[in-house]
Amino acid sequence: MVSAETTISWVLRVGVLLSATLLASGLFLGENVLWLGVLMLILTPFLRVSFAALYFLLHKDLRFFVITLYVILMLVIGSLLKI
Amino acid sequence: MEFALYLIIFLFGILAGGLGATLGLGGGVLMILFFTLVVNIPIHKAVALSLLAVIASSSMAGSVYVHDRMTNIRLAMVLETCTVPGAVIGAFLALAMPGRIVEAVLATVLLYAGATSVRQVRSEKIVLHEDRLGIGGEYYDEARKSTVRYSVDRLKTGLFASLLAGLVSGIVGIGGGIIKVPIMNFIMKVPIKASAATSNFMVGVTAAASAVVYFSEGVVDLQMAVPTVFGIIIGALIGTRLLSQTQSPYLRTLLGFILLFFSGMMFLKAGGVLVW
């Protein structure tokens, strides 16, 4: 329980810091790196949900594993849709 | 000139991030008002940037408050099955709408949020019934020196309200904590502390679900994203370090009146009365 929460808080910290680093270097390296920085920021909550899925799987909590997979599926569909 | 603008965005980001961490707001409401009323950029661009601010703010807060063990991840996931599709649909709807309609929706959301803040709608009632889904929870209440157990009431209504919260968040670029906390607390009878922590978890995911749509449609201003995100990160760091989360009733009421004032401003802007 403790380790899962600690892991998630680390995932969030690393995600935000990585994104901030990319954004800062993007100011000098150009739009492509800025683009990556924004993408990293948007992906951080996706990672958070993925870790929750992993947590439920490890605890053999299959009902919530499936629910979380459904949320991930919705997130992925949302990112693939185009007008 | 450009530099001055970025500096102002950065400084306001610090303010929004700090207040967000202190008042338990995602900072999204403050950012969207700032981008539309002060920076005066098109509303769709403002919404996209505000969503980034919400993600940064939620992730920063989550990395600190996740230790509180008040976050009910199971409940969050169940509600996310509705908020995420809502947030994706909301983002597509917003992109298809004229800016003025988005502004009118924002004004309405501010009116609702302001009214609930002023009236201090909050429920202290805790229900305990058979928890078939296993989404009830418990946490240790520091103030009461005891463990608080709770179950979740009226799940169906909560799910429907969550879908609406997702839609709204996708349209106006707020994470929707200001809507989700009352849904969980008032409708579903989840204790206020657990509601706030769980809402913070959900807000980042909901915002990301809409942000990815704005991002892939190319609405995110990459240059302005830099001072926005940096401002929020630094503000959140200061806010979480220096100040503990305040739940002062006076502050809440004051915030409510401020939101009502800006709701009026947004209605005027949407109606074309307020132009600059």
| Mutation site for A-interface testing, chosen from B223, B226, B228, B230 by largest number of A Cβ within 10 Å | B226
A34 contact B CB<8A: yes
A57 neighbourhood in chain B, CB within 8 Å: none
Residue B69 DSSP class: S
Question: How close does chain B come to A13, measured CA to CA in Å?
Answer: 6
Summary mean pLDDT of chain B:
85
The beta-carbon neighbor of A42 closest among B88, B212, B223 is B212
Q: CB of A64 within 8 Å of any CB in chain B?
A: yes
Mean pLDDT confidence for B184-201 = 85
Q: Assess whether pLDDT exceeds 50 at residue B199.
A: yes
**In the predicted model, is pLDDT for residue B1 greater than 80?**
no
More confident residue, B214 or B186: B214
Contact check, Cβ <8 Å, A41/B222: no
Cα B65 from chain centroid (whole Å): 16
**Domain definitions of chain A by residue range:** 2-80
- How large a percentage of chain A has pLDDT more than 90? 63
Strand B146-150 to B137-141 pairing: antiparallel
- Of B2-11, B77-86, B134-143, B250-259, give the lowest mean pLDDT range: B134-143
pLDDT block averages, 10 residues each, chain A of length 83: 68 90 92 95 93 90 93 92 76
The predicted structure's pLDDT at residue B25: 66
Residue found under tokens 């870790």:
A51
Buried b (16+ CB within 10 A) or exposed e, B162-186: bbbbbbbbbbbbbbbbbbbbbbbbb
Question: How long a stretch of residues is chain B?
Answer: 276
More confident residue, B122 or B231: B231
What percent of chain B stands above pLDDT 90?
Answer: 46
What's the average model confidence in pLDDT over B218-232?
A: 93
Q: Is the reported ipTM for this assembly greater than 0.95?
A: no
**Which residues of chain B does A70 touch, with a Cβ-Cβ cutoff of 8 Å?**
81
Buried b / exposed e along A40-69 (16+ C-beta atoms within 10 A): bbbbbbbbbbbbbbebbeeeeeeebbebbb
Whole-number Cα distances in Å, B123 to A52, B20, B119, B188: 29, 22, 12, 10
Question: B140 is written with which tokens?
Answer: 């240790």
The number of C-alpha atoms within 13 Å of B120 and in the hemisphere containing its C-beta is: 9
**Vertex B194, ends B191 and B200: CA angle to 5°?**
135
- Residue B244 banded pLDDT, cuts 50, 70, 90: low
What pLDDT is recorded for position A1? 46
Distance of CA B17 to the CA centre of its chain: 12
pLDDT recorded at residue B238? 84
Q: Does A26 touch chain B (CB under 8 A)?
A: yes
Q: What percent of chain A shows pLDDT beyond 70?
A: 93
Q: Do A71 and B81 touch (CB under 8 A)?
A: yes
Instruction: Please report the pLDDT score of residue B72 as a whole number.
Output: 87
